[in-house]
Chain A
Amino acid sequence: MSQVAITLAQNAPTETLPGTLGALRAPRSLWSNAWRQFRRNKLAMIGMVCLIFLAAVAVFAPIIAPHNPVQSDLRTAGKYRQAAWIETDNPKTTGDWSYPLGTDGNGRDVFSRLVYGTRISLVVGFIPMAVIMFIGIPIGLIAGFVGGTLDNLLMRLTDIVYAFPALLFFIIMQISFGDTPVGQLLNGLVLLFITLSIINWTGVARLVRGDTLALKEKEYVEAARASGASSWRQISRHILPNALGSIIVAGAFIVPGAIIAEAVLTYLGIGLKPDVNLAAPFPTSWGQMIQSGQTAYRNQPWLLIAPSLAVALITLSFTFVGDGLRDALDPRDQI
């Protein structure tokens, strides 16, 4: 017995008194546990690597893209140069590795446009998510903690938002505000942020409210209350940290939803407006490319295939990451 105590004491950190059972490893927090579980999920890690790759593509777009995404090559305008590995009889349309995925109807390089399109997809996914969290979390916390009128108001509001098919609301907002100064900002990106935030914050607020309702009845919150913790302290130290898991999971599913909404709206011709400015930071989006690809897919199939695969890749990656996060953080409802 004393033998064991001595070995333990030797392995334990120095401040542990000899003879007591010190921890053999540092205690794992909830978060490091979740991270361990997330890392073990292969699909989630693949998704995360894809997303990091796409983020790098978005940041370094000017270095990666071989051509300016807006500049037309007049020699091939209207000619639809094919993807590099497709050969045709016409030297103007045959594949050429200087245009890896060919050119579009205006003679612009499809690959460069695809690279720059990554920027809009990521921005349109993450900025509304941040806004939604910023609005939805406080309102959900207060509604759940205080209850009363605000709570009722929130629930009724979400009922209305749930009944309004999101795409229809997006379309109506675009028609209504598309020509105003706000609608013109960044070719309509800002309006899209606003619309996505309006539709989605209620969902987050309702989720946080539900968590808060359940958490505030928990023993540890009751203990905090009994020992005189203020409402603010109960919320910030006990309720919010415990609700964070499901909030993060919800966030991971808001982002692809926003990306799809942008692509659909732009595909329908009422989302982002095309940019002709050569130095534009957000010159095109995958939705725009799909729209132009659909009209020309007989002439240049990669004009449609490339952006479609890009949208599929980014939404799949987010689904994998979201599923992984849910398994790691939110054991409640796993589908």
Chain B
Amino acid sequence: MLEYAFRRILWVIPVIVAVAAVTFFLMYRAPGGPWDREKTLPAATVKALDAKFGLNKPLWVNPEAVNLALSEGVRNPVALTAAFIDSRFLNYMTGVFRFDLGPSYASKGAESVQELIARKFPVSLKLGIVAIIFSVLVGVPLGILAALRQNTWLDYLSLGTSTLGVSVPTFVSGLLLLLFLSRTFSFSPIRDPEEWVGFGPAYLLPGIVLGLGTMAYIARLTRTSMLEIKRQDYIRTARAKGLASTNVVTAHMLRNALIPIITILGPAAADLVTGSIIIESIFGAPGLGREFVESISKRDYSVIMGTAIFYAVLVAIANVFVDLSYGFVDPRIRVRR
């Protein structure tokens, strides 16, 4: 188990390298540059800016820098190697592992991408927490009720809700909900920036919409696994020995039914990430998702790259966590490995 865990955690590193490399090269060949403005900047300014941010360096390796160092009489192999790998790609890749994602060009280098992420991500994180809490608090009871009252209206209601939630994309349900609220209660999605500071009620609606899909999935999953467990021998035994019904449900059924819920944490993390990009734009939440969308139109390539890598790392870690948690919650899986 320990060896497996170790291997699984180490495997995140090449995954991050691959994701970062793919992102880098796709963005490298994207048209336009960070200095494209409505008014063309003077060539000298562009050159100075390129030099300042190392954009004039070669893509892969930098033999010219080695020659320069040699002509200056540098013979230290460490310094020469450092000069050799002083290229855009390798600098970026080593930067990723030092949590240095470069400057945000739209802010003219005043703020680095990691500072931007640190500033914006808390809003997204809080939305995600609301979404997770909502999806578990609503999804699990919905699934349990549906399973205990199988083939009654309660079951159909719960199935209907969860099918809608699973299949209708959140940006559609979010927009329709917003439309409905604004027309019936003249609710306005536009909020004072102050309301996003701290943990206010502003997070409630976007968080719930963000969690709709996960909630529906949890409800379906809980229902299926509860139905399966309902037929197990140990449940019949528990009932036969005269245990109270609530006791059977909570102690015997729920404990086992909730195991599969952990398995969806990985996909849920990816869902919340992509969901937050859209939900934050719809509700105007000043989080990382909206920043990402805005940086697309600003062509702020370093922010796009850095955010994509950051999200990929989050999802990769969530996947590892899920893989490892199987063994802890379900001893049967531990034995098989």
Contacts and interface: CB of A to CB of B under 8 A. Distances in A.
A175 interface: yes
B210 to A, nearest CB: 14
B176 interface: yes
A270 B167 contact: no
Contacts of B240: none
Contact of A162 (B274, B304, B319): B319
A334 interface: yes
Nearest to A323: B163
A236 to B, nearest CB: 32
Contacts of A171: 292, 296, 304, 308
Interface in B262-293: 270, 273-274, 277-278, 281-282, 292-293
Interface in B78-132: none
Contact of A167 (B11, B173, B277, B301): B277
Given A160-B15, A305-B179, A308-B176, A264 B171 contact: yes
Contact of A294 (B27, B168, B175, B315): B175
B311 interface: yes
A160 B278 contact: no
B169 A264 contact: yes
A164 B312 contact: yes
Interface in A285-335: 290, 294, 297-298, 301, 304-305, 308-309, 311-312, 315-316, 318-320, 334-335
Interface in A191-246: none
Interface in A164-181: 164-169, 171-173, 175-176, 179
B62 interface: no
A176 B29 contact: yes
A175 B30 contact: yes
Nearest to B271: A165
A304 B172 CA distance: 9
Contact of A175 (B14, B27, B179): B27
Interface in B145-202: 163-164, 166-169, 171-173, 175-176, 179, 182-183
A263 interface: yes
A159 B296 contact: no
Contacts of B183: 301
Contacts of B27: 172, 175-176
B19 A301 contact: no
A304 B175 contact: yes
B224 A290 contact: no
Contacts of A156: 14
Counting chain B residues whose Cβ lies within 8 A of the other chain, the interface size class is: 35 or more
A304 B179 contact: yes
A270 B15 contact: no
Counting chain A residues whose Cβ lies within 8 A of the other chain, the interface size class is: 35 or more
Given A175-B27, A256-B167, A160 B19 contact: yes
Which one of B15, B27, B292 has the highest number of Cβ atoms from chain A below 10 Å of its Cβ? B15
Given A160-B19, A318-B167, A290 B319 contact: no
Interface in B300-337: 301, 304, 307-308, 311-312, 315-316, 319
A319 B293 contact: no
A179 B293 CA distance: 18
B169 A260 contact: yes
A180 B224 CA distance: 47
Given A165-B270, A264-B274, 8 more contacts: A160-B15, A165-B308, A168-B312, A311-B168, A312-B167, A312-B173, A319-B166, A335-B224
17 contacts: A160-B22, A164-B308, A165-B273, A168-B308, A169-B22, A171-B292, A171-B296, A171-B304, A173-B26, A175-B296, A264-B169, A268-B278, A308-B175, A311-B172, A315-B168, A315-B169, A335-B224
